A and B are shown apart, each in its own frame.
Chain A
Amino acid sequence: MNKRPDIDQMVNRLFSGDRRATARLITWVEDGMEETREAMRRIYPRTGKAKIIGITGAGGAGKSTLTDHLIRKFREQDKTVGVVLVDPSSPFSGGAFLGDRIRLQNHSQDDGVYIRSMASRGYLGGLSRATYDVIRIIEAMGAEVVIVETLGAGQDEIDVIHIAHTCLLVVTPGMGDDIQAMKAGIMEIATIIVLNKADLEGANACLRHLNTTLSAASFEEGEWVPKVIPTVSVGGKPQDIQGIDELISAIQEHHAHLQKTDAIDQIKSERVEHELGLIFKDELQKLIFKGLKGTGRKKRYIENIVKGKDDPYSVVDEVLKTYIKTKE
């Protein structure tokens, strides 16, 4: 039971598309296991080729239902699909109810689809800290498309832009005022604004409103202009479902745009830059707390800050000086 896991073997199984190995590697990342670092080192070079689609939007807007349709469409094109579904952890118990998978039942027996639910575990921004590495793992497993559903977003849950090539923002009719408030921040991140539940009252007014808002915004020559796509993603009859083909076309159009303008390279660089920053932050903190361990200094620093004899900025400066020789 306490046998050290064989990293080589796990990683090779991942590369061969083995779901058990994939799933276990993801758990290692989520639980911050020591082995993660070595495993990720080997996994990274095998990543970066999948198309990554982010889906964000308020709770209950229809993100999972739309994800289900997207999976179906990509499977029709014979593409293998990975899905990451993030839900919030309870700040009180640390537990989580991960319920997005209920809406993805159509793919429960399809070996071409890998679905993983994750709790945010206190990480802000609509994702979990592990999400970044988890997507890399799913890419290395062989998924050609990776869809990431963030937890029900308010205004600030937009970290998905650091990962996704194409970012869908799902809104619904009756969110009029919210959309108004949104336009400054969250709307700018969207590649495509999906007006879901277009069967509900107020959809037309909302559509007009979205289009007006967008046409008022200015875009540079050659820059992608966000599209608004109305959809109906549930219904008693197949013909009730609307807008999904248009949504897929818009995603493909955006993909072509990225290739044509080499914006894709910029997105990939930004993704790496963001990941690098996160890893530096984590590793540096670990390194420093490890260095202070057993010296009694950490406790002393904290006491002094509490008593008002010192402040955290001075402490960090002092500690960092002993680790890093900055060129000044």
Chain B
Amino acid sequence: MAETKKKKIKVLVTKVGLDGHDRGVKVVASLLKEAGMEVIYLGMFQTPGGIVKAAIDEDVDVIGVSYLSGEHLVFTPKIVAEMKKNLLDDVLLVAGGTFPVEDIPTLEEMGIDKVFRAGSLTDTIVQYIQQNLKR
């Protein structure tokens, strides 16, 4: 039996607002699981406050939000604000889904660490998370 345990990466993935497209987020969840991570899926119709509270309780390393209904610019600042309010500065925030390329810089300015659009390769997502953990 190995004596030095490697810390498991815990990721919370979620939908937010009224967006009912959950295929992509489930695909991402299972990709991350296959890469050895422990993935908590919160489901659809979540609120920024609920997402951040779950992230605190679960002590996750990463929050991943999936956007496919054009609400990315509305919810991102709210999630970031909740994270700031709760001093969650050691949690990586990533997002994916379908939205205009032009919005990516805006999303990153708002506080998302990395955005993955449709067609992103699994390895890219997994590697990014593994190499950019904040703790």
Q: A residues near B, CB below 8 A?
A: 1, 19-20, 22-24, 26-27, 30-32, 89-90, 92-99, 101-102, 105, 108-109, 114-117, 119, 121, 285-286, 289-290
Residues of B within 8 A of A94 (CB): 8, 36
CA gap between A101 and B43 in the complex, in Å: 8
* Given known A-B contacts A93-B34, A98-B39, A30 and B57 have beta carbons under 8 A apart: no
Interface status of B73 (Cβ within 8 A of chain A): no
Residue contact A97 to B3, C-beta cutoff 8 Å: no
Residues of A within 8 A of B53 (CB): 108-109
| Contact residue among B29, B46, B56, B135 (Cβ-Cβ distance under 8 Å from A97) | B29
Residues of B within 8 A of A97 (CB): 29-30, 33, 39, 41
A-B contact pairs, 18 of them (CB 8 A): A19-B57, A22-B57, A23-B57, A23-B58, A32-B5, A93-B35, A95-B33, A95-B34, A97-B33, A101-B41, A108-B50, A108-B53, A114-B57, A115-B54, A115-B57, A116-B58, A119-B8, A289-B1
Residue contact A93 to B36, C-beta cutoff 8 Å: yes
Residues of B within 8 A of A290 (CB): 3
| Contact residue among B7, B33, B41 (Cβ-Cβ distance under 8 Å from A93) | B33
Among B30, B49, B59, chain A packs the most CB atoms within 10 A around the CB of: B59
Interface status of B19 (Cβ within 8 A of chain A): no
CB distance from A120 to the nearest CB of B (A): 11
Interface status of B110 (Cβ within 8 A of chain A): no
CA gap between A149 and B47 in the complex, in Å: 25
Q: Give B97-135 interface residues, CB cut-off 8 Å to A.
A: 135
Task: Give 19 new A-B contacts, CB below 8 A, not counting A108-B53, A109-B49.
Answer: A20-B56, A23-B56, A23-B57, A23-B58, A26-B59, A93-B35, A95-B32, A95-B33, A95-B39, A96-B33, A96-B38, A97-B30, A97-B33, A98-B41, A101-B43, A102-B41, A102-B42, A105-B43, A116-B57
Interface status of B81 (Cβ within 8 A of chain A): no
Interface status of B40 (Cβ within 8 A of chain A): yes
| Nearest A residue (CB) for B90 | A1
CB distance from A129 to the nearest CB of B (A): 11
Residues of B within 8 A of A121 (CB): 8
Interface status of B68 (Cβ within 8 A of chain A): no
CA gap between A50 and B78 in the complex, in Å: 36
Interface status of B80 (Cβ within 8 A of chain A): no
Residues of B within 8 A of A26 (CB): 59
CA gap between A273 and B92 in the complex, in Å: 41
Residue contact B54 to A101, C-beta cutoff 8 Å: yes
CA gap between A119 and B39 in the complex, in Å: 9
Residue contact A19 to B56, C-beta cutoff 8 Å: yes
CA gap between A269 and B53 in the complex, in Å: 35
CA gap between A92 and B35 in the complex, in Å: 10
| Contact residue among A1, A95, A98, A108 (Cβ-Cβ distance under 8 Å from B46) | A108
CA gap between A26 and B34 in the complex, in Å: 24
| Nearest A residue (CB) for B32 | A95
Residue contact A98 to B38, C-beta cutoff 8 Å: yes
CA gap between A30 and B32 in the complex, in Å: 19
| Nearest B residue (CB) for A82 | B57
7 A-B pairs with least C-beta separation: A108-B50, A23-B59, A95-B33, A102-B43, A98-B40, A95-B36, A27-B59
Residues of A within 8 A of B35 (CB): 93, 95
CB distance from A137 to the nearest CB of B (A): 12
Residue contact B47 to A108, C-beta cutoff 8 Å: yes
| Nearest A residue (CB) for B40 | A98
Residues of A within 8 A of B42 (CB): 101-102, 105
Q: Give B1-46 interface residues, CB cut-off 8 Å to A.
A: 1, 3, 5, 7-8, 10, 29-30, 32-43, 45-46
